[in-house]
Amino acid sequence: MKHTPFWWEDAPRENAIPETQPQKTDIAIVGAGYSGLNAAIILARAGRAVTVFEAGQLGIGASSRNGGMLGPSFHKLGISGLIAKYGEETTHGILRESIGFVDFLADFLETENINADLKRTGRFQGALSAQHFNAAQERIEGLNKVCGDIAHMVSQKDQHLETGSKRFTGGVVYQMDAGLNPAKYHNGLIDVARKAGVVILPFTPVQSITKGFALTTRLGTVQASQVAVCTNGYTGKELQWFRKRVLPLRSAIITTEPIPAEIMARLMPKSRMYGDTRRMVAYYRPSPDGRRIIFGGRASNLRDNPAANARNLHRSMCEVYPELKDTKISHVWSGLVAYTFDHAPHIGQQDGMDYAMGYCGSGVTRSSYFGQKLAHKMLGDTEKGHTYFDNLDFQTKPFYSGNPWFMPAILGWHRLMDRLS
């Protein structure tokens, strides 16, 4: 069993370590994930000298470790929670803007000629009880009213058309969702950015940033005119204001060995993206070639523990698909996602530094979209840079320093609630 992402088989990582860096740059971007690279491409094409700093290997973070599942990433507070917090106009704007995330990324991949195995499959979310089904139905009625016909309910008697699992009492199909190979997408972004003239420096963590935007790294000091922070779940202590506003949570994924075609056709008859309504988030999908199941969820604890993650996720997978109990695992890996205290992503400026982060576990489309919005803001284009996520208060909590030491207890409570329900 390999402890590296399955995605790396078709999109290996680079290992070259740079030995020099520019002394000056127009724009320094901290973080070479989806947000940082999308921003860098826009900025470089606008004539700016752009340098991107990555603390580790390119793609070592969530950008090539996620499940490759694309969706509108509807806000976890729901419509009523959003309206209570932000008002009706902003809420409807956020929801309608989110609807376009998948189309945005699909258009970008086509325009830039990036082959990332994109498939527009839709997503089925199974309801674990009649109560969950009824709650989902109410939620979908509200979303369809605001956003148009974007999802539909599937009854328990018809769910065999969507899934081979008998665990559910029906569910929801979100029609616009899609899947891709996230590492291929990240590699494609690197190629496009370099062709645009972006300098990308892996294995070059930023150690400090002065108020005048002098960035210190292992290679010396770089003077920048503007700085963008795009570190998400990997925000370090050198960026303490941002670190205090994100909760880095570990998500883990397993990949099965190849499964016979007739079993795959029965378990995932429409080859969609999949999830369910348990508190401890589970997400799953077929591999791009349709021969394996990729199954993800919360890691066993805050540190990487491949053996425990493989064991727990295999058990979770078999709760959905019992006939996979003897299926072996070929890969297990984990990475960090960044949640926020208000469950929303954030984009803005602090101490003169621009930032985009906090994608709450739904980052493939969100981070790409926010990265490009961030670039337009940095160029002073208020029209192209506008988003309904502007001006959301980026909250922290008293005494929180960036270490979510309390999360194992919270996750344990969610596991207990899932078992009791």
- The Cα 373–Cα 228 span in angstroms is 12
Asked if 165 contacts 268 with a C-beta cutoff of 8 angstroms, the reply is no
Counting residues of the chain whose pLDDT is more than 90, the rounded percentage is 89
Q: How far apart are CA 307 and CA 165, in angstroms?
A: 26
pLDDT at 420: 66
Cross-strand bridge partners of residue 249: 337
Across the chain, how many H-helices and E-strands are there?
12, 18
- The span from the CA of 102 to the CA of 273, in Å, is 13
Average of per-residue pLDDT across 182-201 = 98
Residue 413 is predicted with a pLDDT of: 72
Tell me how far apart the alpha carbons of residues 60 and 32 are, in angstroms, rounded to a whole number.
9
Task: Specify the pLDDT at position 406.
Answer: 83
What is the pTM for the complete model shown?
0.96
- Distance between CA atoms of residues 53 and 364, nearest Å: 20
| Structure tokens given for 291 | 């021969």
Token look-up 């009213």 returns 145
Beta bridge partners of 194: none
Mean predicted confidence (pLDDT) in 383-409: 92
Report whether pLDDT(186) > 70: yes
> 231 vs 48, 171, 259, 359, 389, CA distance in Å?
21, 35, 37, 11, 18
**Domains plus CATH for the chain?**
6-66+183-247+341-410 (3.50.50.60), 120-178+248-340 (3.30.9.10)
Q: Is the pLDDT of residue 280 over 90?
A: no
Whether pLDDT at 42 is above 80: yes
Closest by alpha carbon to 64, among 205, 234, 227, 217? Answer: 234
Does residue 75 carry a pLDDT above 70?
no
pLDDT > 90? residue 52: yes
Mean pLDDT of 47-55: 98
Pick from 383, 371, 387: which is nearest to 44 by CA? 371
| 218-250 pLDDT, tens digit each | 999 999 999 999 999 999 999 999 999 999 999
Separation of alpha carbons 161 and 140, rounded Å: 20
Mean of pLDDT values over 333-348: 95
Spatial neighbors of 410 by CB under 8 A, at least 6 apart, are none
Indicate if the pLDDT at residue 414 is higher than 80.
no
pLDDT in the model for residue 82: 86
Of 67, 62, 84, nearest to 75 by C-alpha is 84
